[in-house]
Amino acid sequence: MLGAFHPSFEGVWRPERLAEDFARRLAARVRSGLLPAARPRRNRYEVLSETDESIRFRSAALLTSANIGWNDVELRADRGAGTVTYRVAYWAWARFCMFLGLGLAALFAVLVVVPVLTGWHLFPEDFYPTASELVSFALPMMGFWCFVFPWVLVAMHKRPARLGFETLLAEVNSDGR
């Protein structure tokens, strides 16, 4: 169950026919811009290692890390089996979600908790919870935004990130034919 909340995924991609130079093509794509439609500031990846059958690359900028979540990618092409085994981690994307949750909790604190505790009201006074409601509702809500919401996003992101990654693999495999 906790695997759903771990910011990574792995798998084996099985194309009909794997290109002989698949790893070289992917490395070239990483160097020239992994996502052609993305802005350059959101499309900065660096190749860490490369062989004829494997490649490892990672996002090289904050906006790239937050863009799609392919933060650290390892893959190995098995020409004999015609498969590509991959592992993708998106811890930087998960940290972005944590900061997003923290920001939402801070906003909630400024708009609700601080006015209740200080008496300074931005909205009509009956809009705000009482002190007992604050303890039973508002503080747990802040906890949700800080500690639960980011991990829900991590779990929800796993499938679209995997599908997008396999689409990228198919594009790279079909380039130049």
Check which CATH number belongs to the domain holding 76 and give it: 3.30.530
Say if residue 88 is in the same domain as residue 17. yes
**115 and 53 in one domain?**
no
Residue 96 phi, psi dihedral angles, 5° rounding:
-55, -45
7 pLDDT band (50/70/90 cuts)? Answer: very high
The yes-or-no verdict on residue 176 having pLDDT over 80 is no
For residues 88 and 100, membership in a common domain is answered with no
From residue 40, alpha-carbon distances to 6, 11, 31, 104 in Å are 28, 28, 12, 28
Same-domain pairing of 41 and 82 = yes
DSSP category for residue 152: H
Nearest of 7, 10, 157 to residue 84 by alpha carbon:
10
145 and 163 fall within a common domain: no
Amino acid at 116: V
85, 25: one domain: yes
Range of the domain at 147: 94-151
* Distance, first Cα to last Cα, the chain: 42
Compute the CA torsion angle 6, 12, 16, 18 (nearest 10 deg).
Answer: 110
Tens of pLDDT, residues 52-89: 999 999 999 999 999 888 999 999 999 999 999 999 99
**Same domain flag for 112 and 136:** yes
Q: Where are the alpha helices (DSSP H) in 22-148?
A: 22-33, 62-67, 91-108, 114-118, 131-133, 139-143
81 and 127 share one domain? no
| pLDDT at residue 133 in the model | 83
- 111, 168: one domain: no
- For residues 126 and 158, the model is more confident at 158
Other Cβ atoms closer than 10 A to 59? 25
Query: How do residues 24-50 score in pLDDT, each as one tens digit?
Result: 999 999 999 998 888 888 899 999 999
Residue 177 has a pLDDT of 45
For residues 22 and 75, membership in a common domain is answered with yes
Q: Is the pLDDT of residue 105 over 90?
A: no
What domain count does the chain have? 2
Rg (CA), the chain: 22
- Same domain? For 72 and 83 the reply is yes
- In 124-160, which positions are buried (b, 16+ CB within 10 angstroms) versus exposed (e)? eeeebeeeeebeeebeeebeebbeebbbebbeebbee
Same domain, 85 and 167: yes
Helices and strands of the chain, counted as H and E runs: 7, 5
Give the pLDDT of residue 130.
Answer: 83
